[in-house]
Amino acid sequence: MGGDHAPTEIVSGAARAVREMDVEVIITGLRPDLTAELKKHGFHDSTIRLVDAIEVVKDGENAIIAAMRKPNSSMAIATKLVKDGKADAVVSAGSTGAFMVNAYQHLGCLPGIERPIVGGAFLKLAPNTFMLDMGANVGCQASDLLKFAVAGSVFVRKFHGIENPTVGLLNVGAEEGKGTEVVKEAYCLLKESGLNFIGNVEGMDIPGGKANVIVCDGFVGNILLKYSEGMAKGINHFLSEELAVMLPQPAVESVTSKLMKQISTPDTTGGGPIWGINGVAIVCHGASRADHIAAAISEAKLAVESDFVGTLRVELEKALKGTPG
């Protein structure tokens, strides 16, 4: 029930996943709404199981209060299915904050992690660059940034086959000694971490793909993510008008849609895992369409099958041994 286009696009994405992947999907939410959507895709609730969730967390609600006061929200019920061993992973396009609180509350964190992490690929322009955190952690300490770097490195190695992933610290200059006190301290921790730390990276190094893993406070990551979305929208509008007088409409649409893909979060990810949670929880953008939901379900499947959470637990313990925080 969460996301700008729920439940229509959510159900549509789930239907696609069931059709195209070897995956079983349970949808939680308001049964009459979900049944009506499923019918559009020729599914009955014997194929895709429905589980009642009578509350909905709305955008704008305080995340912690929503998670506390709405134990029967669709995201809470879905998360509890994982806790109870009835599902292997949970995917949501609802409020990132509330989902994070739910995941934290019901599944808990891995040892050494106090707060879960949201990250993932950022731009198709730089397909081998992964950013974390993208909004779950606002107001980070240096040790948080180190944890992001460890989690990102494990993810890139496991999921993308890059053996010794490079790690960059997002900053306002390339030189050591730049940035806020937190970032300066993080630089020192990363230097000593045993990770493949290449130093500070700057804003242009994100589309430039300078590092495989770029770490930043979720405040910065979230603003960058939404800024990209707004830029894409503005560029699409401008370019469509410019090209309309030069090219036939199908060609205009082909060019603009290819460009939009380049400057959006890659479709192959759909969303991002909430890293650090003791279970697989994938958070999608609020604006997710069916494509993104299906991709996020595929990502959840990969995470389960490769025992990402178990591996991350081991690697975090190893890397954080002896470091502060």
Site for a copy of itself, residues 57 to 96, rule: CB under 8 A: 60, 62
Asked whether 125 and 262 are in contact (CB, 8 A), the reply is yes
Tokens 């993104």 sit at which residue? Answer: 292
Count Cα neighbours of 41 within 13 Å in the Cβ-side half-sphere: 23
Three-class SS of residue 314? helix
Closest to a copy of itself by CB, 229 or 267 = 229
Q: At what angle do helices 290-305 and 8-20 cross, to 10 degrees?
A: 50
Q: Please report which residue ranges of the chain form alpha helices under DSSP H.
A: 8-20, 31-40, 63-69, 74-83, 96-107, 142-160, 181-191, 218-244, 249-262, 290-305, 308-320
- Asked if 263 touches a copy of itself (CB under 8 A), the answer is yes
Residue closer to a copy of itself, measured from CB, 123 or 319:
123
CB of 179 within 8 A of CB of 305? no
User: Please, which of residues 192-221 interact with a copy of itself by CB under 8 A?
Assistant: 202-208, 216, 218-220
Among 255, 266, 291, 302, binds a copy of itself (CB under 8 A): 255
CA distance 74 to 59: 14
User: Is residue 239 involved in binding a copy of itself (CB under 8 A)?
Assistant: yes
Q: What backbone phi and psi angles, to 5 degrees, belong to 233?
A: -60, -50
**Pick 38 or 57: Cβ nearer a copy of itself:** 57
266 binding a copy of itself? (CB under 8 A): no
- Of 243, 266, 291, 302, which one interacts with a copy of itself (CB under 8 A)? 243
What is the distance in angstroms between the CA of the first residue and the CA of the last residue of the chain?
37
32 binds a copy of itself, rule: CB under 8 A = no
Q: Does 175 bind a copy of itself (CB under 8 A)?
A: yes
Which residue number, 158 or 226, has a Cβ lying nearer to a copy of itself? 226
> In this chain, which of 170, 293, 303, 319 binds a copy of itself, going by CB under 8 A?
170
Taking CB under 8 A as the rule, does residue 228 contact a copy of itself?
yes
Summarize as ranges the residues that interact with a copy of itself (CB under 8 A).
Answer: 60, 62, 123, 125-126, 135, 138-139, 170-175, 177, 179-181, 183, 202-208, 216, 218-220, 222-231, 233-235, 238-239, 242-243, 246-247, 251, 255, 258-259, 262-263
